[in-house]
Structure 1
Amino acid sequence: MSETDKTKRAETKRVCVMGWPVEHSRSPLIHNYWIEKYGIENAVYEKRAVKPEEAEETIRNLNDLGYIGANVTVPHKETAYQVLPRRDRMASRIGAVNTIVTTEDGLEGRNTDGYGFIANLKEGAPDWDRSKPAVVLGAGGAARAVIAALWEEGVNEVRLVNRTKLRAEKLAADLSLPVLVIDWENRNAALPGAGLLVNTTSLGMEGNDPLDLDISKLPAEAVVTDIVYSPLITPLLEAARKQGLKTVDGLGMLLHQAVPGFEAWFGVHPEVTDELRRLILKDMGIEEET
């Protein structure tokens, strides 16, 4: 590489998404759309495939590799949390990092998944009643972010339902929040009086066990959302629509969680628009929503 090329590379604001695998990530499509839309000069967002055994070194040396920041996807979110000494409140609470930012004090790990979930919910169901209990299905990393965000938003009762009760209890303990853990066998009993039902599991998806849930137990004003966005309308959302319930698909969570990182890296607060949504849907092979 010539000295001129080295100088140009140093001047370029480079950001990546790192994961293993990473080819499926739609983050470059989102961020490069915004880079072009807002005229961010000398900026690029790219994919970087990082093997698990290389993740720690890559994260530590992010700036030396020419990056001002990064998104972190599976299976490196917990590694990033462990490696980075500086983390924001949500990353610390959730125990995972999905966004890395260069600050005056060095690299900082952040978690924007909860932000993305709440922003999507507010956009799709602005009248959602926070005073009523929220029911969360699943106890993985996504459920951690969702529950933490719900408490930040002022929801004072979260009912957590998971097939493995022990894992749900550990999640509640890790978050240090008064989450009500309910046995999977009693999952239908968690629905009456709820204002929100959130599915963070893959149950009901093709190739997985069905989601056996009697959503007729939900109040008529309840909102149902699924963090999965492929397919856009999951079996749960389809069933909720047939029952006349308000539904929010998971695509907006992907789009909104990208906003804080872009703003931190490039100094512009990007807007999640219908045009961007259509761009991602087209990439998914969906020309228009039904």
Structure 2
Amino acid sequence: MSAPSAPPYAEVIGDPIAQSKSPLIHGFWLEALGIAGDYRRAHVKSDGLAAYVAERRDDPDWRGCNVTMPHKAAIMDLVDDPGAVRGTIGAMNTVVRQPDGTLIGTNTDAAGFYAPLAELDLEGAPVVVIGAGGAARAVLFALARANVGPVTILNRSPLKAMGLLATFGLKGDVVALDAPLPPAVLLVNSSSLGMTGQPPLDLDLSPLPAGAIVYDLVYSPLRTGLLQAAEARGLDTVDGLDMLIGQAALAFELFFGAAPPEGRDDELRALLTAG
């Protein structure tokens, strides 16, 4: 008799990785659906990324991984790209293993980011985006599809940020991180500023009009200084769990072949915010 196959598993990789809540999310869904499987953290440094990918490629139980900082660009050189993610978003956050060992990279961040905004009419709306890394690429890709504009990027490296505006066909400007905010309907923090262990993000939000939305992709802590400042001004806020859960839902279906259970988001958020 042949030995029974091991349960399938997926992972989230990054450096650092201990703060990731993805195992909680996927574990909650696996249990709710009664799927025999696992989802783990894997601490992968930049100089070990290629070896990690090569090792997992030969593991038939490995269904794939989510990719977080700082690997969203580097991973593109190690996997197949049938959806032309490199030429569009320019960053991958999900790798899926095919039965023949082929590894396909994709991006679920853009759809996950935009899900809480989908019912809004943002066409022509002025937007501010903080940061110009892999998360910013997904954000700008989604915003370009929504025909927003103009877009002002706050970033340490103006040249890199200007390139992003051109890449996504967006009109706007690039200013320093300490520059005054322009009036904007939507402010998105796509940087790591304000994350636990990172420098704070101190912004004067007074230029934002009443009714503006402040969206912070950081989820550790969940109530960042930026969101607290926005709430103090009576502005609408979106926290990082919205994008985290949204992108995870798309990846979960790719990994395990089933959609997350419906009507369980409140339970999931309570789990993620406990303690």
Question: Which ranges in structure 1 are unaligned for 5 or more consecutive residues?
Answer: 286-290
Residue 137 of structure 1 aligns with an amino acid whose one-letter code is I
Give the aligned partner of residue 5 of structure 2: 8
Q: 1:79 to 1:87 in 2, by over 3 A?
A: farther
Q: Name the counterpart of 2:115.
A: 119
Give 1:273's match in structure 2, choosing from 265, 269, 272: 265
Name the counterpart of 2:47: 53
Query: Where do residues 86-125 of structure 1 align in structure 2 (5 Å cutoff)?
Result: 86-90=81-85, 92-103=87-98, 106-122=102-118
- Give the total of aligned pairs: 271
Q: How many angstroms does 1:171 deviate by? A: 2.9
CA contact (8 A) 1:191 1:215 kept: no
Contact 2:162–2:174, Cα closer than 8 Å, also in 1: no
Equivalence for 1:82: 77
SS in 2 for 1:86: coil
Q: Deviations over 1:110-158 (max 9, x none)?
A: 1111222112344xxx446444121112222221221111112332432
- 8 Å CA contact 1:91–1:109 kept in 2: the answer is no
Contact 1:14 1:45 survives alignment (8 Å): yes
Shift in alpha-carbon separation, 1:75–1:133, aligned structure 2, 3 A: same
Aligned counterparts of 2:48 and 2:193: Cα–Cα separation in 1: 32
SS class of match (1:247): strand
Among residues 176, 180, 184, which one is paired with 2:176 in the alignment?
184
Q: Does 1:256 align with 2:246?
A: yes
User: How high is the TM-score relative to the length of structure 1?
Assistant: 0.82
Map of 1:132-151 to 2, 5 A cutoff?
A: 132-151=125-144
Structure 1 partner of 2:58: 64
For residues 231-242 of structure 1, the aligned pairs below 5 Å read 231-242=221-232
Return closer, same or farther for 1:184/1:121 CA change in 2, 3 Å cut-off. same
Shift of 1:92: 3.9
- Partner secondary structure for residue 57 of structure 1: helix
Larger displacement relative to structure 2 (127-136 or 205-214): 205-214
Secondary structure at 2:206 match in 1: helix
Aligned counterparts of 1:13 and 1:185: Cα–Cα separation in 2: 44
Alpha-carbon offset, residue 278 of structure 1: 0.7
Partner of 1:34: 29
Give the structure-2-normalised TM-score. Answer: 0.86
Render the CA deviation track for 1:143-199: whole Å, top value 9, x for unaligned.
1221111112332432222233223123334x34234223228843x522x211112
Matched residues, percent identical? 44
Q: Secondary structure at the match of 1:101?
A: strand
* Shift in alpha-carbon separation, 1:230–1:49, aligned structure 2, 3 A: closer
CA contact (8 A) 1:226 1:248 kept: yes
Asked if the contact 1:226/1:249 (under 8 Å) is kept, the reply is yes
Q: CA RMSD in A?
A: 2.7
Q: 1:68 to 1:230 in 2, by over 3 A?
A: closer
1:230 lines up with 2:231 in the alignment = no
1:244–1:35: structure 2 CA closer, same or farther, 3 Å change rule?
Answer: same
